[in-house]
A and B are shown apart, each in its own frame.
Chain A
Amino acid sequence: MTSTSIDTARARPAAGTLARVRTTRLQAIGEPNLWALGGALAFGCVMVVGFLLLVLWNGVTTFWPRPVVVVTTTDGARLAGEPFRSEVYRPGPEVLATLDEATRRRIAAAGGLAGRDLYRTGNFDVYSEDFRWVSDYAVASTAMPSGLMFVERLEWGPFIGTIRGVTVDGRAMPELKDDPRALAAAHDVARARWRQIRHIERDLIGDVNHELEAERLNVRRVALRYGDGTPEHVAALARFAERETALQADYARLAADAQGLKETDGHTQITLAEIGGAEKTINLSAVVRMYPANDLGVAQKLGVYLSRWGEFVSDEPREANTEGGVLPAIFGTFVMTLLLVVVVAPFGVVTALYLREYARQGRLVSIVRISVNNLAGVPSIVYGVFGLGFFAYVLGGGIDSLFFPERLPNPTFGTGGILWAALTLALLTVPVVIVATEEALAAVPRSMREGSLACGASKWQTIRRIVLPRAMPGIMTGVILAMARGAGEVAPLMLVGVVKLAPDLPLDGYFPYFHLERSFMHLGFHIFDVGFQSRNSEAGKPMVFVTTLLLIGLVFAMNISAVVIRNRLKRKFAGSQF
């Protein structure tokens, strides 16, 4: 029975009434689209990976010590320097005119092009330049002689040349020249003395100044409170005079100590000679690091490399930020990002909670939601202007006149600072957190809320105990995104507290230890500053890569830790359902 009915059904199209062969068009299969999608993905990946590799390679190799090459040019001049980079260029007619016939012909044969190398010659104080181009045709010979020293100095950048002599405590000690170990020991002593001087000048005298300033402010406070010339004011003035004398004495003692040390320091010197023979004598303590560039084994190179990295991440910048370390910038970036998270996470979550859980879902809420989403599209510099105008001038100005009137007209909170920067970035990134939180809240299964309510929990208890924990991984994703965005943002910060060189870290030993009002350094701004704002942009270029690498690394590390926390949370909620 059944078979016959199927047969008749089959027979019908054959009879011609429904003779249509079903086909599938290529468009419907979607294979070409697949190629386009895959291609787009691959293109994106290549760009990102290429960028990361570029930064990684340049950042990682910058600190590796390079050999110093001595180039003898055809006119007999000699130059010593680290080969920096090469390029092909087109010599101008006035240059060609100075060349001999054979060279000119060779250049013409190469299509008018010639090669040239950039050498980092150092010795800025002698040459008035750090880098020099040498055209290939001008090179008579190159060599890498041993004994050439690469000397990193506190000032004037590196010196490349030979050691002529060493004076320790006023006694000439020529034997140190050929005894690297003894020289290193003398160098360590000199450096320790230098650090001691710095400690006295910065920390100890800083303490005295801090205390003096506090006393001065105290007098101002009394004057503001009781009025000028009142008995209280007179008493405060008297006390101040007494303290001032004592502090001045402290200051004089410390300054004398430092002066004494400096004099001693001046008796330990090193005399260096550049390749042309010009000599230069500097304090040994002004040498940060020196090594015989062409005589290093791999282990020693590695030592130099690591010591440079160590200095980079743990020291302060010098030479207009192109040398030294970036510790203040690392610290500033880190603290600001943490502050940003501390502000943006609760604020965003609370807002999203209200929007999603409590507000009546109507037109008003929709408008608010759209506005919040659009906030993410406002150019960040606009937030910077707002942060400066509202946070720094209005809020900060208010705080100053309320709590720090004695310091006026010097602003305390009334100018850019790390707190205002964090708040500005919080504002900038809060939409991300709100959107992510809303989605996470919406994704909490209704059955779970109902289960909790059915147990007699109030709405708030349900949110607190069931919804929020369950939404936490999604919320964390939002916070991670906000953090990543905030840590990399520079433009608004330039208006609300980032500076080229911050005298003090936001965290120090003076009460209240955490100084939210202080301006700070930031890796992102540091990159901009070193790369494009410094005297010597050629020398700054490698530092740009290193700092970029560091910034990427820092953001990456912070994100990874957040992701780890999130995954821990997620694992808690992932269980087999049946």
Chain B
Amino acid sequence: MVALAVDDVRPNETVYHVKRGTEGTALAIRDFCLWYGAAKALHEVSLTVERGLVTALIGPSGCGKSTLLRSLNRMNDLIDGLRTSGTVEFDGRDIYDPRVDVIALRKRMGMVFQKPNPFPMSIFENVVYPLRVDGVRDRRILEETVERGLKSAALWDEVKDRLHESALGMSGGQQQRLCIARAIAGDPEVLLMDEPCSALDPIATAKIEELIDDLSGRYTIIIVTHNMQQAARVSDNTAFMYLGRLIEYGETEAIFTNPKLDQTRDYVTGRFG
């Protein structure tokens, strides 16, 4: 557990007033810095993510939201010349410890990307992909998973008759919900979502927001979004980032109605300069 009290001002001057969950902390990020080659993209970010709550990451484009999110399941490992410092503790273990099994870590964290990225396979195979990867063969388990996943992603009724058709024939919104179904099929503990609604129309967006609401409590969700209303609607805590720094991290309601910093207020009210 990290002892970060409300209004605790750290050396990097982040302002904290976080809403605590009932189940403790899922992720504790401490003094996390990240360099793409020589360029420092994250500056001493420290925050805790509460288990079972929805945490939103907001901030102007290029401020490092995706970078931070992708650091949590070590997706950034793929990038050449990447360097990090600081720690990210998940269940009390630093995931940047060289002994950590990255694959096992990713199995505990589902991820939904900004653009839907279904695999060129059937809808069914898309959903059970995490199970296939684990070598699950049992037809019954697979079918159960598909039904549960698609129902959770509010997609079941639309596709239950065409489970064995290619996933590439679906609409963008359906594809994104399919990706969500896929992300939760592996039964992860944390769900990382990077602007999941940016390519969707308002109706699909509403469905996904509903879905996030449903899933909160069961999963720890971290969502990156550019949509202030969305952040306000779905999240419990909101982190505001700017130029690679975490500026303010607190209860969503407070961030949007009564932020501690003028910078945050300017951003959430759209007067950002």
Q: Which residues of A contact B (CB under 8 A)?
A: 361, 445, 447-458, 461, 465-466, 469-470, 572-578
Contacts and interface: CB of A to CB of B under 8 A. Distances in A.
Contacts of A456: 103-104, 106-107, 130, 133-134, 186
Given A451-B179, A457-B133, A470-B120, 17 more contacts: A447-B113, A448-B119, A449-B78, A450-B78, A450-B113, A452-B119, A454-B106, A455-B110, A456-B104, A456-B130, A456-B134, A457-B130, A461-B133, A465-B129, A466-B119, A575-B120, A575-B166
Identify the 4 closest CB pairs spanning chains A and B, nearest first. Answer: A575-B168, A456-B107, A454-B111, A447-B117
A576 B168 contact: yes
A452 B80 CA distance: 19
Interface string B34-74: 00000000000000000000000000000000000000010
Interface residues of B, number: 33
29 contacts: A447-B115, A448-B117, A449-B78, A450-B78, A450-B113, A450-B117, A451-B117, A451-B179, A454-B73, A454-B75, A454-B110, A455-B106, A455-B133, A455-B182, A455-B186, A456-B104, A456-B106, A456-B107, A457-B103, A461-B133, A465-B129, A572-B120, A573-B168, A574-B168, A575-B166, A575-B167, A576-B168, A576-B169, A578-B199
Contacts of A361: 80
A93 B113 CA distance: 90
A575 B129 CA distance: 19
A345 B56 CA distance: 48
Contacts of B186: 455-456
Contact of B78 (A448, A453, A458): A453
A450 B183 CA distance: 12
A575 B118 CA distance: 11
A465 B132 CA distance: 10
A369 to B, nearest CB: 17
Contacts of A470: 120
A264 to B, nearest CB: 68
Nearest to B106: A456
A451 B166 contact: no
Interface in B182-227: 182-183, 186, 199
Nearest to A569: B120
Contacts of A577: 168, 172
Q: Is the interface of A mostly helix, strand, loop or mixed?
A: helix
Interface of B: 73, 75, 78, 80, 103-104, 106-107, 109-111, 113, 115, 117-120, 129-130, 132-134, 166-169, 171-172, 179, 182-183, 186, 199
A470 B120 CA distance: 7
Contact of A455 (B104, B120, B129, B168): B129
A554 B82 CA distance: 52
A456 B115 CA distance: 19
A576 B166 CA distance: 10
A394 to B, nearest CB: 41
Contacts of B133: 452, 455-458, 461, 465
B106 A453 contact: yes
B75 A450 contact: yes
Contacts of A448: 117, 119-120
A578 B182 CA distance: 19
Contacts of B109: 454
Nearest to B114: A447
B119 A454 contact: no
Contacts of A455: 106-107, 110, 129-130, 133, 182-183, 186
Contacts of A445: 117
A574 B117 CA distance: 14
A465 B80 CA distance: 24
Given A445-B117, A447-B115, A450-B78, A458 B130 contact: no
Contact of B120 (A457, A458, A461, A573): A573
A575 B186 CA distance: 26
Nearest to B173: A578
Nearest to A458: B103
Contacts of B172: 577-578
B119 A451 contact: yes
Nearest to A451: B117
A448 B168 CA distance: 12
A448 B118 CA distance: 7
A123 to B, nearest CB: 67
B165 to A, nearest CB: 10
Contacts of B183: 454-455
Q: Residue among A445, A451, A470 with the most chain B CB within 10 A?
A: A451
A397 to B, nearest CB: 46
Contacts of B110: 454-455
Nearest to A578: B172
B6 to A, nearest CB: 33
A465 B172 CA distance: 23
A447 B176 CA distance: 13
B239 to A, nearest CB: 21
Nearest to A446: B78
A452 B119 CA distance: 8
Q: Residue among B73, B118, B133, B182 with the most chain A CB within 10 A?
A: B133
Contacts of B78: 449-450, 453
A363 B147 CA distance: 50
A481 to B, nearest CB: 24
Contacts of A578: 171-172, 199
Contacts of B120: 448, 469-470, 572-573, 575
A567 B251 CA distance: 54
Contacts of B182: 451, 455
A28 B219 CA distance: 60
A450 B109 CA distance: 13
Contacts of A452: 119, 129, 133
A578 B113 CA distance: 16
A368 B103 CA distance: 31
A454 B179 CA distance: 11
Contacts of B117: 445, 447-448, 450-451
A451 B113 contact: yes
B19 to A, nearest CB: 27
A445 B115 CA distance: 12
B18 to A, nearest CB: 26
A450 B171 CA distance: 21
Contacts of B179: 451
B75 A453 contact: yes
Q: Residue among B80, B119, B132, B168 with the most chain A CB within 10 A?
A: B119
